[in-house]
Amino acid sequence: MNIGGAVDDSHAQSSDTRGNLLEVRGLTKVFGSLKACDAVDLTIARGEIHALLGENGAGKSTLVKMLFGSLEPASGEIRWKGQPVRITSPGQAKALGIGMVFQHFSLFEALTAAENIALSLDKETPIPAIAEKARELSKAYGLPLDPSSLVGDLSVGERQRIEIIRCLLQEPELIILDEPTSVLTPQEADKLFVTLERLRSEGKSILYISHRLEEVKRLCDRATVLRHGKVVAHCDPRKETAASLARMMVGNEVTQVTRTGVPRDGKAEPLIEVKSLSRKPAGPFSIPLRAIDLTVHAGEVIGIAGVAGNGQGEFFEAISGEALQDAAGSVRFRGRDAGKLGITERRLLGAAFVPEERLGHGAAPAMRLSENLLLSRFRTDANAFLTSVGVVLNRAISLASQRIVADMDVRKSAEDPEASALSGGNLQKFIIGRELDRKPAVMIVNQPTWGVDAGAAARIRQALIDLARSGSAVLVISQDLDELFELSDAIAVMHDGQMSKPIPIAEATYEKIGLLMGGAEPGHAGHEHAKELA
Amino acid sequence: MGMLEAILLTIATAATPLLIAAMGELVVERSGVLNLGVEGMMVMGAVTGFVVAYSTGSPWLGMIAAVLMGAAFSLLFGFLTLTLVTNQVATGLALTLLGLGLSGMMGRSFVGLPGVKMSAIYIPGLSDLPLVGKLVFGQDPIFYISIALVIGVSYFLFRTRAGLTLRSVGDSHKSAHALGIKVIAIRYAAVTFGGACAGLAGAYLSLVYVPQWVENMTAGRGWIALALVVFASWRPWRVLAGAYLFGAVTIGQLHAQALGLGIPSQLLSALPYLATILVLVLISRNRRLTMMNTPASLGQPFVPDR
């Protein structure tokens, strides 16, 4: 069997009348009292790229999980090539010709790329033959890949290539891509679009899930928009504007974040100073930090861009005190050495931290919101929450907790629910609110709006800008470039454990940042600009 | 038979039950299941092997019955943890307690009876060779099974598609499920294999090591096998090395005690544990290799969303 067999798709046309590959009628899925999908209709024609749009929690993932057999619909019908089918397992979906590239990759970190690919092939193919086939296919689609590399060592973009090649090797007729560009640099995303257009020209259908409206307009032939589990529109995205698509998704206008200019008189006090911060890799799959320098002044928001897995997590751990430094002066808050201080001591210096992982890191899942509030602030706000002998003042905590819930518009099902009972977006609002409520002089946030819907995201971003303008220093690590452009005064880029000089927002372009994210001139591009400004 | 040869033979005898039980548990843990019931399955194998061999006069029937008993006992664990999704640690501990109690009851009227010993293989000529003769060509059949197990498990895990699938389930059951791999079925198979091995290891004790039945005769060997798997970072050949090292130091310290060296006997008794841990920790210093070989979803229950 040669590579031609894997790509050629001649049998697809002959199998039935040309027309719709997949028809979904009235598909419904209920979780408890929530209708995650409510009578959803969806039609995908052969050779089209069909966008599935919606905010987080709109039911996109639930819908595709039903199409891929990992969830069972409560009611409704799925027709594949005109025939009604019941898809009860991912294996069956694959046998029908449905392939899926997951948002949270379904790869095995401890196995090689070739072994990962071999696992999804049904035939008993020897591993060396798979490596060869994968290599050829990766060349044919311009997706460079070394089959013998260990997945745990690869960047997220490379992992996605494995997912895509793995999916293509199964010769699917429908490929479902779940937020494929959220982890890619703009340049990598462009390459992906070329691949997708090529697949379309070969007659394959693609269901494309994304919340990036510009790329949907550019790539997709048709779109289905979901809101609260219901289909609100079928449309041609090329005839819509990004704003009109956003309105369909959200149901009303999204408030714009306003960013007033910073007074750049050069007198602002540096509140966060990172000086030649280096760190050895903590585990076999983690990134070392290489001599990072960064200063954030009072009144500023600095954004840190980068493809996931380039050391942002390690940087956050080092700066928040989850990992201590050898040199006390490598991290300084408000002019005081903090390198050897733990998290609580750094918090006592006026710093606040919001880690990426909400459950287990940002909040204790099985504890109530008020208890989580106390856990993070019992030292910094000891006077407010504890008596002099350390007895908990329940009433004060409950009042503070209610204030945060009201300020951030946290939607919850009970008076004081456990953290794990909140949806991801609402928990994030609570965690951010919990830190903002302290009015910290230094605020460091990793992925502030990951998984948060558009309205709440705008609220969080505005709150961060307002905090900075009131005289605090704000550092935001994010994979979402749009977000960084919306709220930062300057953007630095992390690549392979190194950090570029911050590029002032007036000079930053997607292209410039994208090149740095891809590793062009690591640590140096934008240097002159920064110097001129300094 | 020379002194050295005798010592080497006793080392092999001490190492074999550990090796067999540990190879079974290695496969179980590679599939992502932590079965702490090795001791219980072993002791059930020991009592079953003895009773059947005593009643029928055939150590072979005893061995087969022990393997079946180990497998059946592990299926109980499998049903509880995989189908009913109980806590694996608690269920494993319960399995050990149940096995110790049940075996004591089953074997009550057999205590002290003369057992049937599985005879060693004798190949004329080869078995008479000096030094290596009895060691390599004159052992009992279960010894050869134990060596074949190491080779077989190593080949299965790293050279076959089925082994790759099993490792993938242990690495990430969610990803495996998304690929259409039958996670629960594979784990059932692995757990059953582990139980069969533990049963065989138990049979070795009551049919070869000391051919009789004594209550609680496994004496903690199941726990040592469990520890060996972890310290050998889930690699078959390292388990072999660990088991033989443990056997060697155990026998060595017995001889040292007999010589009366003036070292406290408690310290000497602790030596096998200390030496094994030390050596296996030293050879698994490469954290990268350890991480690669550690089943990432070990002990986590798998419940597919529906």
Is residue A103, in this structure, part of any structural domain at all? yes
Residue A436 vs residues A400, A460, A461: alpha-carbon distances, Å: 12, 10, 12
Same domain, A215 and A76: yes
Q: How far apart are CA A80 and CA A63, in angstroms?
A: 15
Chain A residues whose C-beta is within 8 A of a chain B C-beta are 65, 68, 70-72, 89-94, 100, 102, 105-111, 115, 118-120, 124, 127, 150, 152, 283-285
Structure confidence by residue, pLDDT tens digits, A459-509: 899 999 999 999 999 999 998 888 899 899 999 999 888 999 999 999 998
Final residue in a domain of this structure, among A250, A284, A299: A250
Bigger pLDDT: B1 vs B288: B288
- For B169, nearest residue in chain A (alpha carbons): A108
**pLDDT of amino acid A377:** 87
Rounded to a whole number of angstroms, the distance from the CA of A143 to the nearest CA of chain B is 21
Q: Is the complex ipTM higher than 0.85? A: no
Pairing status of strand A270-279 against strand A331-333 = antiparallel
Same domain, A155 and A296: no
CATH code for the domain in which residue A214 is found: 3.40.50.300
CB contact under 8 A, A106 and B305: no
Number of domain units in chain A: 3
Is residue A255, in this structure, part of any structural domain at all? no
- Calculate the CA dihedral of residues B48, B53, B59, B62 and round it to 10 degrees: -30
Is residue A500, in this structure, part of any structural domain at all? yes
User: In chain B, which residues have their Cβ closer than 8 Å to the Cβ of A65?
Assistant: 305
Is residue A256, in this structure, part of any structural domain at all? no
Same domain, A298 and A245: no
Same domain, A458 and A501: yes
Q: How far apart are CA A278 and CA A327, in angstroms?
A: 10
Nearest CA to A43 among A32, A52, A30?
A: A52
> Cβ of A506: how many Cβ atoms within 10 Å?
9
Max Cα–Cα distance, chain B, nearest Å:
66
Which DSSP helix (H) or strand (E) runs through A388? Answer: none
Is residue A409, in this structure, part of any structural domain at all? yes
The dihedral through the CA atoms of B239, B242, B248, B253 has a sign that is negative
Amino acid letter at A513? I
User: In chain B, which residues have their Cβ closer than 8 Å to the Cβ of A108?
Assistant: 167-168, 171-172, 175-176
**pLDDT of amino acid A262:** 65
Q: Which domain holds residue A98?
A: 3-250
Same domain, A79 and A104: yes
- What does the DSSP 8-state code read for residue A447? S
CB contact under 8 A, A285 and B291: yes
The tokens for A435 are: 């830190």
Q: Residue B174: which residues within 8 A CB-CB, separation 6 or more?
A: A106, B297, B302
> Cβ of A340: how many Cβ atoms within 10 Å?
15
Is residue A148, in this structure, part of any structural domain at all? yes
> Cβ of A349: how many Cβ atoms within 10 Å?
20
Same domain, A434 and A444: no
pLDDT average, residue stretch B250-267: 84
Max Cα–Cα distance, chain A, nearest Å:
81
Q: How far apart are CA B239 and CA B242, in angstroms?
A: 5
Same domain, A418 and A455: no
Same domain, A397 and A451: no
Residue B54 vs residues A276, A438, B62, B119, B143: alpha-carbon distances, Å: 75, 76, 8, 14, 21
Please give the model's pTM, rounded to 2 decimal places.
0.75
Smallest Cβ–Cβ distance between B180 and the set A65, A90, A105 belongs to A90
Angle at A256 between CA A252 and CA A259, to 5 degrees: 170
Same domain, A428 and A447: no
Q: Does residue B91 register a pLDDT over 50? A: yes
Low-confidence residues in chain A, pLDDT < 70: 1-18, 56-57, 103-105, 122-125, 127, 156, 182-183, 252-255, 261-266, 283-285, 451, 521-534
Same domain, A447 and A435: no
Final residue in a domain of this structure, among A218, A250, A282: A250
Q: Where are the alpha helices (DSSP H) in A336-393?
A: 343-348, 369-377, 382-385
Is residue A490, in this structure, part of any structural domain at all? yes
> Domains plus CATH for chain B?
3-293 (1.10.3470)
Is residue A42, in this structure, part of any structural domain at all? yes
Same domain, A453 and A336: yes
> Cβ of B127: how many Cβ atoms within 10 Å?
17
**pLDDT of amino acid A301:** 94
Same domain, A246 and A275: no
Reported residue count of chain B is: 306
Structure confidence by residue, pLDDT tens digits, B47-83: 999 999 999 999 999 999 999 999 999 999 999 999 9
Structure confidence by residue, pLDDT tens digits, B223-246: 999 999 988 889 999 999 999 999
Final residue in a domain of this structure, among A195, A215, A250: A250
CB A294 within 8 A of CB A272: yes
**pLDDT of amino acid B23:** 97
